[in-house]
Structure 1
Amino acid sequence: MNRELQSMIAHANHPIQSPLGDEAVGHLLDHALTDHARVLDLGCGAGEWLLRALTARPAVRAEGVDVSKAALDRAATAAADRGVDDRLTLHHQGAEGFTSAEPFDVVLSVGATHVFGGLVNTLEVARKHLAPGGRVVIGDGFWEREPTPEAIEMLGDLEDLATTHDQVVAAGWTPVFGHVSTRQELDAYEWACWGTLATWALDHPDDPDSADALSIAATRRVEWLHSYRSSFGFLTMVLRESGK
């Protein structure tokens, strides 16, 4: 089963592709958006952050960048259904190579820092797109407790919460709002992803990808419960450039 299809199915019931609940997403957007903001999402997937921003503020305009055409098609359909498609532009390309003639008031990259080689590198890319006085909304994992070697192998060499914050500040950014995902949000995300993928497999037993999907769902659930549930955390921050 290719990863693009796997991700689309797994996130069908959790369209924010990170461990954040609806209330947290709303608060983060409230602290980032202005009424006439131009918003960019680097690695937008199916565009849920942008769709919510466009729905919340009728004068906002948004652009999303992603390598998945299927995800962008899904975003375009959802935008039309919500009546915001006239204010949304989607780019089918790698986010790391995206350029624009105009800067953006808000740059989003939540759960996609791996695309740019980590948190600090992602912030450097975001800075290139940001208008003076603009805000970046960035989300990344951290170690809440000492991880197992298996967890590090799966999720990478993350830092603890305080060190993650300090890295951001040292890179020239000032946090103006933040949210640490709760245990409920973290668990809800994992249950939703692997439960939805398993449900699809059980409902489509004749599909060539069914057995693989069921196996992936079972494996990911075991990895979560046994290797990283007790140690993984997720931080989302709204940032401004220090001194600006």
Structure 2
Amino acid sequence: MDGQTVSRLAHARHPIAAPLSDGSVAALLARALAPDEEGRALDLGCGRGAWLLRALGARPRWRAVGVDLDAAALALARESAEALGVQRRIGLHHLDAREFTDRRPFELVLNIGATHVFGGLLPTLAAAREHLAPGGRVLVGEGFWEREPSAAALAALGAAREDHADLATTVDRVAADGWTPVAAHVSSRSEWDDYEFARTGTLAEWALDHPDHPDAADALAAADLHRAEWLHGYRGTLGFVTLVLRRD
């Protein structure tokens, strides 16, 4: 079973593919979309379009564009858009986010938990700036080290120590790059736990409900492995911050 399929199944009950509660998502979008009554939002790595769909639900005069390489996730995004009645206000592109172009700028550019697409946080912000309208906002979510990572944590994440910094250094780097944080949310331990248990539990339940599926055993093994890597590896070590940013 490929990674995109595993992720898609695992996030069926937690469409926001990050350790954020519904309340946190709503609060961040309220800050990122305000005070504009209308505008355009771009998600560079939209997956199932969960952020964009919530933005369109909150702002009936906004339009949105999502870009992702997972065709099946985009199909789910289209289905959700139709169910919500916002399909005419969203465009979804099966494309590498690094290749996306648009003649018109966007009032909001998002990248939540997908900065790896551009090679890190600062390259992601550089890409976002190319699409951003004057006075616009960027909503970006990135990992950071809550504490010094152990060898077990790094192994579980398949990461290197230099892949992340602590929270203060992460924010300092963003500010030094010319961005001003105007709002932020640091995911709580409870949000992390809810997210990880939802992710592994949903994948495992799919496997249990489809025992004859050729990928059932692989899905269950993937759920068991991820749960062990989280509980015995990076729980309490990897943090997640979502920033609302503006430029002068």
Match for residue 61 of structure 1? 63
Q: 2:222 aligned with 1:204, yes or no?
A: no
3-state SS in 1 of match to 2:38: coil
3-state SS in 1 of match to 2:61: coil
| Correspondence 1:26-37 to 2 at 5 A | 26-33=26-33, 34-37=36-39
| Correspondence 1:111-190 to 2 at 5 A | 111-153=113-155, 154=157, 155-156=159-160, 157-190=163-196
Match for residue 79 of structure 1? 81
Q: Distance in 1 between matches of 2:122 and 2:61?
A: 31
Cα shift readout 1:163-215 (whole Å, capped 9, x = no counterpart): 00001001110000000001110111100000000001111111100111111
Q: 2:24 aligned with 1:24, yes or no?
A: yes
Q: Does structure 1 retain, via aligned residues, the 8 Å contact 2:189–2:236?
A: no
| Counterpart residue type for residue 224 of structure 2 | A
TM-score (norm 2): 0.96
| Counterpart residue type for residue 151 of structure 2 | P
Q: Distance in 1 between matches of 2:173 and 2:154?
A: 19
Cα shift readout 1:137-181 (whole Å, capped 9, x = no counterpart): 000100001111232342442100000000100111000000000
3-state SS in 2 of match to 1:233: strand
Match for residue 40 of structure 2? 38
Q: 2:234 aligned with 1:228, yes or no?
A: yes
Identity across the alignment (%): 58
Q: Does structure 1 retain, via aligned residues, the 8 Å contact 2:111–2:139?
A: yes
Cα shift readout 1:32-88 (whole Å, capped 9, x = no counterpart): 112202100000000000000001110000000000110111000100000000100
Unaligned runs of 5+ in 2: none
Unaligned runs of 5+ in 1: none
TM-score (norm 1): 0.98
Q: 2:15 aligned with 1:9, yes or no?
A: no
Q: Where does structure 1 differ by over 6 angstroms across 4 or more consecutive aligned residues?
A: none
Q: Distance in 2 between matches of 1:37 and 1:183?
A: 34
